[in-house]
A = this chain, B = another copy of it.
């Protein structure tokens, strides 16, 4: 429980100082100035009092209970400081110092030491390598940042500067503020998902805003996000996409960056609003914490100039938002308020119809939000500046319109977002809108993004499935025979299953595997090939040869007994040539697969999220166009279907250029089995089914490779 940590009633400042430039001074000053609702205990062996408070030599000297310690001393002192905190029974500690896991091996060891010390004493640690934390409503400000606005957004970041950026933006550009700020730092003890759970339950938090470089327990985070986002929106920017960005993140918070595509997809499936442009991060949180999500994806654009309307239409289309035709009745109602030159299709261009009375905006807004096809309204242009640009008297009409629109949003349960050229000017009508929870942006891009996240989040909530909860049931469906297969490999000290073993394992879980024979001699190979009603394929089987083609270990399309015998001899000779001491178990004789569409299925363990599956079409689609999709396991039937549809080349599965459609159900069953296998056998590190041929009916796993974790 983080209650005592994030809502601490008493705090020890370890490394308290009289020097104004030190955190140990600034924090006490800020706690005092902002009227922290709790007890403050400076700790410093060299001082007797600081800012009027008695100063203690060590934490354990403090007489009353201490919930929380702010440790502002250097990294090397932290273990002993924590020991002393433990003695005192402190519940939580913020460790500010850097010099831990982000710096290399030595730092990692020190980090492990402090975590162990903390665990021993039941102390929960925020950080290390953090700028601190703030509980805004309690004025528990351990950052020393002043005048940060109080409100309903919880802020969770891995960068002090990004926190400062977001808080400054809130202060300058909005009427919003924060419930909590936590600098997660190296995430050594308290993990992202624990903070998330706390904020989910916190009644003062309406939305959660996150900046993430990398997570240590991504799956637990997804699970928590999945139950959080249906109650409160979570808005997240993950950096470290590029290789330089990854490096930079690594040296910053020592975070693992993982596969970007996996992270983005997984976050979105958990209902998180993923932001990729840092300019949109705070606005998205402002919007989602203030306005109702959209019940349908149709947005109306209301403009007082063609240029803004055109750009907004382009941007919303890029974001996948509908700009539906207005109902005839809507158009005829608008007609009464607007001049003949006005454009009444969506986007609506008032064409001067608001020049002498901007309160007409409110009339148009009411009519547009009454249209059943319209889920939300985006107003673009000069509103808020009519008094500045044209005549001062128009300001009053703008204010009237602001009051009307503010109430309209509540009444209709549909959002309005405003783009205004005058957003950064002092305009009372714009401030009114902000007080009503209608955000105002001077950027068209940001305004469009914000209405789009209301649509996306609304659509997520509408389609919410309890089942997609990211919970793995390890070992639940394991079969005894499967475990024996894996144990055999482990006994032989092998980190991989041989092809026949891998296929046998798939077969055990219901995958239809063609009858194949492991031949030890050319005679056995010929006999096996004779029994088949298709041409034969021969493949080397050796734990020492992972890349069969490289060792010339594969012969395709063998039609005669002679060819089979010759191929057997060649393959064995080439294998011995390739690796003289290779342990050759034999040659696998299999029937040539029927023609069909080549696909690739792979599974692996992602650094952050654990088991994931990858899917793509074989050949150039994967090799050249990198057209693949990822999904965090386990898969549901619906998830498997979505995974397949996510690749750009998906239509090829439906048959193109006269080709027949591939059996998508068979493919879905195979994907589900892969998911099942990853859960059933925690020993599996990686599976690679490449290629799988999907036929008009059924599919054939042509080759399968399964790697095991080092035991």
Question: Are B159 and A244 closer than 8 Å at their CB atoms?
Answer: no
Give the bracket for the number of chain A residues in contact with chain B. Answer: 35 or more
Asked if A108 lies at the interface with its beta carbon under 8 angstroms from chain B, I say no
Chain B residue numbers with a CB within 8 Å of A162 are 305, 307-308, 311
- Does A591 make an interface contact (CB < 8 A)? no
Tell me whether B251 and A421 are in contact (CB under 8 A): no
From the candidates B211, B241, B317, B351, name the one contacting A242 in the complex (CB within 8 A).
B317
Q: Bound state CA distance, A98 and B308, in angstroms? A: 17
> A49 in the interface, Cβ–Cβ < 8 Å?
no
Cα of A131 to Cα of B98 in the assembled complex, Å: 57
- Chain B residue, CB-CB nearest to A651: B624
A514, B193: Cα distance in complex, Å: 68
Q: Is the CB of A240 within 8 A of B314?
A: yes
* Residue in B closest to A318 when the chains form the complex, CB atoms: B242
Which residue of A157, A159, A240, A651 has the most chain B CB atoms within 10 A of its CB atom?
Answer: A159
- Judge whether A99 and B341 touch: CB under 8 Å: yes
Alpha-carbon separation in the docked complex, A333 to B605 (Å): 42
Interface contact B310-A445, CB-CB below 8 Å: no
Q: Given that A624-B656, A657-B619 are contacting pairs, would A159 and B240 also be in contact in the complex, using a CB cutoff of 8 Å?
A: no
A152 at the interface (CB under 8 A from B): no
Within 8 A of B (CB), among A378-428: 381-382, 389-391, 421-422, 424
Picked from B160, B213, B310, B627, the residue with its CB within 8 Å of the CB of A248 is B310
| Interfacial chain B residues near A237, Cβ < 8 Å | 311
Beyond A245-B314, A306-B253, A310-B213, whether A161 also contacts B656 by CB under 8 A is no
A248 / chain B contacts, CB cutoff of 8 Å: 306, 309-310, 313, 343, 347, 349
Determine whether A277 belongs to the interface, using a CB cutoff of 8 Å to chain B: yes
B307 adjacent to A157 (CB under 8 Å): yes
Contact string, A127-161, partner B, CB cutoff 8 A, digits 1/0?
00000000000000000000000000000011111
* In contact, A382 and B421 (Cβ under 8 angstroms): no
- Please encode chain A, from 436 to 476, with 1 for each CB lying within 8 Å of some chain B CB and 0 for all others: 00000001111000000000000000000000000000000
Identify which of A251, A304, A389, A648 gathers the most chain B CB atoms within 10 Å of its CB: A251
Contacts A/B (CB < 8 Å), 14 sampled: A158-B307, A159-B310, A164-B421, A168-B422, A239-B314, A241-B314, A241-B317, A245-B317, A248-B310, A251-B343, A278-B311, A619-B657, A624-B652, A625-B648
